[in-house]
Amino acid sequence: MTSRIDTLRKSVNTPLVVVVTLLLAYGALMVHSATSGFGSGTAMFMRQMFGIAIGLGFLAVAWKIDYRKFDDWLGPLVALNAFLVISPRIPGLGSQVSGATRWLEIGGVSLFQPSEPAKLLTILIMAIVISRFKGRIERGQDVAKVMAYLALPFGLILLQPDLGTGLVFIAITLGMLLVGGMKPRFFLIMALVAVVGVGTVIQLDLIKDYQRDRLLVFLDPEHDTRGAGYNLHQSMIAIGSGGLTGKGLGQGTQSNLNFLPERHTDFIFSVLGEELGFVGAVVLLLLYLGLLVTALEIATSARDLLQSLIAVGLISMWTFQILQNIGMTVGILPITGLPLPFMSFGSSFMITNLAGTGMLLSVWARRRAA
């Protein structure tokens, strides 16, 4: 009995468990506050709690898996990943939300967003591919091979269209390539290609109207505050009015009076800023810092490169989503519709974050010191 307890203790990263638990509690508190003004607020809060419960089950499963065993399963993993991201566009399976076909729907019921678990599959696929180069990605054809594995899910995600999620896939890959040994000159080449590509798309007027509007709002936050810039305008009012300590839970006027759109999902940070103020925002940022530092410790203690890359992929995913979400709510980054990890309402997103936590625990449990 004592031996089993010792084994369990060694497989648990206590700081990770503590910080994720605190984030879950903080997120539940803010979702409850943000949805309290809805007629279905109680049902929405219970749905969030159900998502957390299911997510904890996925965490346990992900924790038990040794991901090194998937090294010979690259082909099936790529096929599964492609199916996930294309499934919403299969007739009869996808449902459209906010102009994008992102949800898998069966029998008229929206089940989940396949792009969420696809993030974790992409992390595993990239870890397998990049680890095979043993920390030395020095040739152009090596980089091209790695990017080919990104191109498939990224291209299919853009068909939904969902540029925000597509950028998450890019951030994941770049973070893993940085640790995987890609030469700096290739990062420079990628940056130049990206700049030329974006410039070409804008010059040829290939972007959609709503994407153009978001860029204009980003460049000028006062642009069309009653239309395209309405969300950002209301978000900045909410955060600015919170002051040092906020107006108090449930007392936010921008959210309670329905001025702030998507307040329980994309703009949950705006609700936090208004109701808990600068102090509440700093507490959240410290929790995120604890999450990322702990994940970095797990990455550096991993038994091998593959497992280290898995941890780095999760760090890259969370870092990008945190910076992008908070940045867009305060106007320093364009609005992309990305939710805030462990905080925003949404079962698919929550389950993915908790499953990712389980993957980190798996890496920790199999570290070289174990």
- pLDDT, one tens digit per residue, over 268-280 is 999 999 999 999 9
Cis peptide before 161 (omega within 30 of 0): yes
What is the tens place of the pLDDT at every residue in 354-369? 999 999 999 999 886 4
Q: Above 50 in pLDDT, residue 312?
A: yes
Ramachandran category for residue 3: left, alpha or beta (phi over 0 → left; psi -120 to 50 → alpha): alpha
What is the tens place of the pLDDT at every residue in 14-33? 999 999 999 999 999 999 99
- Of the pLDDT bands very low, low, confident and very high (cuts 50, 70, 90), residue 157 is confident
Averaged pLDDT, 237-251: 89
The rounded mean pLDDT for the chain is 85
CA distance 235 to 263: 9
pLDDT value at residue 370:
45
- Of the pLDDT bands very low, low, confident and very high (cuts 50, 70, 90), residue 101 is low
CA distance 67 to 84: 20
Q: Which of 43-47, 91-95, 231-235, 341-345 is the least confident region?
A: 91-95
* b (16+ CB within 10 A) / e for 315-351: bbbbbbbbebbbbbbbbeebbbbbbbbbbbbbbbbbb
Averaged pLDDT, 108-122: 80
Q: Above 90 in pLDDT, residue 159?
A: no
Residue 128: count of CB within 10 angstroms of its CB:
22
> Percent of the chain at pLDDT above 90?
50
What is the tens place of the pLDDT at every residue in 68-87? 899 889 999 999 998 888 87
> Based on C-alpha coordinates, what's the Rg of the chain?
21
Contact 35, 250 (CB under 8 A): no
Averaged pLDDT, 25-45: 87
pLDDT value at residue 194:
85
pLDDT value at residue 128:
96
What is the tens place of the pLDDT at every residue in 187-211? 999 899 888 887 777 666 656 666 6
Looking up tokens 């808990």 gives 276
Strands (E) across the chain are located at 94-97, 100-106, 109-112
- Of the pLDDT bands very low, low, confident and very high (cuts 50, 70, 90), residue 63 is very high
Phi (first) and psi of residue 100, to 5 degrees = -125, 140
Q: Which of 107-116, 132-141, 297-306 is the least confident region?
A: 107-116
What is the tens place of the pLDDT at every residue in 116-148? 899 999 999 999 999 999 888 989 899 999 999
Q: Above 50 in pLDDT, residue 219?
A: yes
pTM: 0.90
pLDDT value at residue 325:
95
